[in-house]
Structure 1
Amino acid sequence: MINARQATPADAGELMRLRKVMLDSMRPDPAPSGDWERTGAAVLSQQLGDPAGMLAAFVVDRPDGTGLAACVVGAVDQRLPNPGDPTGLRGYVYNVATDPAHRRRGYSRACMIALIGWYATRGVSVVDLRATRDGEPLYTDLGFHRTDDPAMRLYVPTP
């Protein structure tokens, strides 16, 4: 049985390392290292330390105990309710990553199942994610489906 545990602030550095693994797997060139990694670790340290927080991560430790083999990070966003989402609580899954040496062992599945359970305890009935082709079979098997909602994005210039 695979043991997915809830991450703690002490896991922040490893979570960011796995974030880079995920980003690198989605791009032709590796993501550059930089301040974003330290900023991300600080954000994770702060938010994972808040027991009533709206962010959680679930991880599987490497079998040899030298770090993390896999992770998932998810957040809860309070939106305005609607008929299909009466609480307005929306989950968003991001940063599903497994070290290449530990793939195809069910680690990401165990992390996702733990996160879905965390959402359920918070009354979140709608969860969104973006899937790569490699990840889509896992998410479909867990009950996710493609939606008709078109996505758009704006990058706001900041001073």
Structure 2
Amino acid sequence: MDDLIIREAIPEDIPEILRQRRAMYLDMGYEDSPALAGMLSTCRPYLSQALANGSFRAWQARLGEVIAGGGAVVISPWPSHPYDLECRRATILNVYVPPEFRRQGIARRLMQTMIAWCQQQKFAAVYLHASDDGRHLYESLGFLPSNEMKLKLR
């Protein structure tokens, strides 16, 4: 994929980030249309603010003018740990490649780009929640299962 270009997203890319986020949830089997529409409407102002203040960094993979995938890193305040004195946390999310571009190394290149950015920013670790489809890729990049758990409150 020599002609693949990965670039950091800009505010004008928000509609595409939202489109990919919706497509990602549809691919994972989430088909509640009103909830997806609600997600898009509430996520748009968040993305505008978070891209502007740097707490949401996104990347797009492009083949010419065609968008072949994307992913993002959320930087959030987090209490320090004995092994990480930084009071922040990096979480990768929204890694998505449309079906017609899968199995070509695009998701791997996106992940490598985001991991390299996190390393440059001196994060001690980076976190993500793996879909079943993405788990093998993430493990091949060195991600390990963690003890994180979740309790749904609604």
So what's the TM-score if we normalise by structure 1? Answer: 0.84
Q: What is residue 55 of structure 2 aligned with on the other side?
A: 54
Gaps of 5+ in 2: none
- Output one character per residue of 1:84-108: Cα deviation in whole Å (capped at 9) or x when no partner: 2222322111111111111111111
Match of 2:151 among 145, 150, 153: 153
Q: In 2, Cα distance between the equivalents of 1:145 and 1:152?
A: 17
Equivalent residues in 2 for 1:5-154, closer than 5 Å: 5-27=7-29, 30-32=31-33, 33-50=36-53, 53-61=54-62, 63=63, 65-66=65-66, 68-147=67-146, 149-154=147-152
So what's the TM-score if we normalise by structure 2? Answer: 0.86
- Output one character per residue of 1:42-98: Cα deviation in whole Å (capped at 9) or x when no partner: 322332233xx121011112x3514x2211111112212111222232211111111
Partner SS for 2:133: coil
Q: In 2, Cα distance between the equivalents of 1:44 and 1:15?
A: 9
Q: In 2, Cα distance between the equivalents of 1:58 and 1:20?
A: 16
Structure with bigger helix share is 2
Residue 15 of structure 1 and its aligned partner are, at CA, apart by 0.8
Residue 154 of structure 1 and its aligned partner are, at CA, apart by 4.4
Number of aligned pairs?
150
Gaps of 5+ in 1: none
- Is the Cα–Cα contact under 8 Å of residues 8 and 45 in structure 1 kept in the other structure? no
